Amino acid sequence: MKRIVLFENIHPSAREVFEAAGFTDIVTHKSALTGEALVAAMEGASAVGIRSRTQFDQAVLSAASSVKVVGCFCIGTNQVDLNFAAETGVPVFNAPFSNTRSVAELVLGEAILLLRRIPEKNARVHQGFWDKSAEGAYEIRGKTLGIVGYGNIGSQVGTLAEALGMRVLFHDVESKLPLSNAKSCPSLKRLLEQSDVVTLHVPGGATTEDIMNSTTLAQMKPGAVLINASRGSVVDIDALHESLSSGHLAGAALDVFPSEPKGVNEPLASPLIGMTNVLLTPHIGGSTQESQENIGREVAEKLVLFLRSGATKGAVNFPEVPYLQPSGETRILHVHKNVPGTMAALSNIIAESGLNIVGQQLQTRGQFGYAITDVDGEVSGVLLDKLRNHPGTVRCDRV
Ligand code: NAI
């Protein structure tokens, strides 16, 4: 029976998926482990599940020799040495889309709060004032929402915003099919000039660094508000501080920051601290009970599919082979160096053992190839050893 080891208090929805699939040897740990304790806890495990705190570097991956697949029960995969995992034939899965709804809901909630000036009004009541003025407070109905980055989250924000009566514009570097009545803007400038609320949903990295800077912030409508729940590097915080201080922007909501505290007791360092027209949240856009449950289910399903069939669709570091119903008696999973002749050698070794290949899928990615081969008989230990000993082989298993 294949053992599954889960760290960091992964949501029980994962265990439900494993058990429903017939896996009963499931070991769970509440916290993240390190060093020898981590390696010892993974002994005999075929699959391991981690969240963001467990570090899978080369030393850990090399020591955990039984592990065939890693599931990151989160969005990010920086905690795993992905290249090394691929070099040792270990696919890594994550849950990139499980929390899109959570982020979208937060953004819409913040849009409503900012246009109603709730952050300031809330602070005033706490300070002992009872200022009932409607000045500067607006409904979001009929206002224009500008979405920068119309991907998974951005497009969902747009759909929800339209249901509340907003007019939706978006700008994306790729051509995107608009959902409902959303309109694509050919340039960021055109979007900024027209939007009452601007929300950012682009990836991080060099191409989006500081796309909201003193020039682009000045292009926003006077009295507009900015929401960033994407990546901290996307907004020049000093320029935003200036734009809010001068009164050009009426407010902002930030969930992500250029430099974020490492732990719960570390304060955020930002010039925006103390501004009553700014909502600051600790990178919790995607953190809800529902998203944790979805993540548990989504990653567990990918691990189950891999353990049963070798399917790697959605793996972040590996050639992606989609699920196909096995067409033979046994399935051979062969990870190899992507060099000429390896597939021919694989087929010859199988043929020499007297087995017929009845189905085969191959995908390559960079230096590696991954072939799933269905054969019409049992795969012996001798054949498996021959395949494993071929110089082009990275890893070979049967399911
Ligand atoms: P996605 O990859 O589905 O969409 C990103 C979109 O941005 C794509 O359509 C892409 O073409 C577009 N894009 C890239 N560069 C652009 C540019 N310079 N200008 C305009 N559009 C550009 O990503 P997804 O899943 O929607 O995530 C969006 C962001 O949200 C990511 O940065 C992600 O890390 C972040 N995120 C934040 C969370 C939080 O807790 N605050 C939770 C989940 C995701």
pLDDT in tens, 150-206: 999 999 999 999 999 999 999 999 999 999 999 999 999 999 999 999 999 999 999
The whole-angstrom separation of Cα 21 and Cα 41 is 23
Whether ligand 1 lies within 6 angstroms of the CB of 283 is answered as yes
CATH topology of domain 324-399: Alpha-Beta Plaits (3.30.70)
Q: With 90 as the cut, is the pLDDT of residue 263 above it?
A: no
Q: Give the CATH architecture of domain 100-280.
A: 3-Layer(aba) Sandwich (3.40)
Q: Residue type for 365, please? A: R
The whole-angstrom separation of Cα 227 and Cα 200 is 6
- 208 CA: nearest ligand 1 atom: 18
Whose C-alpha lies nearest to ligand 1, atom 39? 285
Q: What is the pLDDT of residue 76?
A: 85
Q: Give the CATH architecture of domain 1-98+288-319.
A: 3-Layer(aba) Sandwich (3.40)
Q: With 90 as the cut, is the pLDDT of residue 107 above it?
A: yes
Listed in sequence order, the DSSP H helices in 64-179 are 82-87, 100-115, 118-126, 152-163
> Residue 122 carries which DSSP code?
H
**Span 266-280, average pLDDT:** 96
pTM for this prediction: 0.86
The whole-angstrom separation of Cα 249 and Cα 220 is 8
Are 79 and 54 spatial neighbours (Cβ–Cβ below 8 Å)? yes
Phi, psi of 199 (to 5 degrees): -125, 135
Catalytic residue (one of 15, 201, 231, 297): 231
pLDDT in tens, 343-359: 999 999 999 999 999 99
The whole-angstrom separation of Cα 101 and Cα 288 is 10
**Span 11-31, average pLDDT:** 96
Asked, colleague to colleague, whether 1-98+288-319 and 100-280 share their fold, the answer is yes
Q: What is the DSSP string of 315-354?
A: -SSS---------SSEEEEEEEES-TTHHHHHHHHHHHTT
Provide the pLDDT confidence category of residue 16 given band limits of 50, 70 and 90.
very high
> Residue 378 carries which DSSP code?
P
Rounded to the nearest angstrom, the distance between the alpha carbon of 363 and the centre of ligand 1 is 27
Active site residue 390: no
The mean of the pLDDT values for the chain is 96
Q: What is the pLDDT of residue 29?
A: 96
Structure tokens at 370: 């991954």
- 97 CA: nearest ligand 1 atom: 25
Q: With 90 as the cut, is the pLDDT of residue 7 above it?
A: yes
Whether ligand 1 lies within 6 angstroms of the CB of 207 is answered as yes
Q: What is the pLDDT of residue 1?
A: 81
CA distances from 157 to 218, 233, 396 (A): 24, 21, 44
Structure tokens at 361: 């899928």
Which residues face 69 on adjacent strands?
Answer: 47
Domain segments of the chain as ranges: 1-98+288-319, 100-280, 324-399
Q: What percent of the chain has pLDDT over 90?
A: 97
pLDDT in tens, 213-250: 999 999 999 999 999 999 999 999 999 999 999 999 99
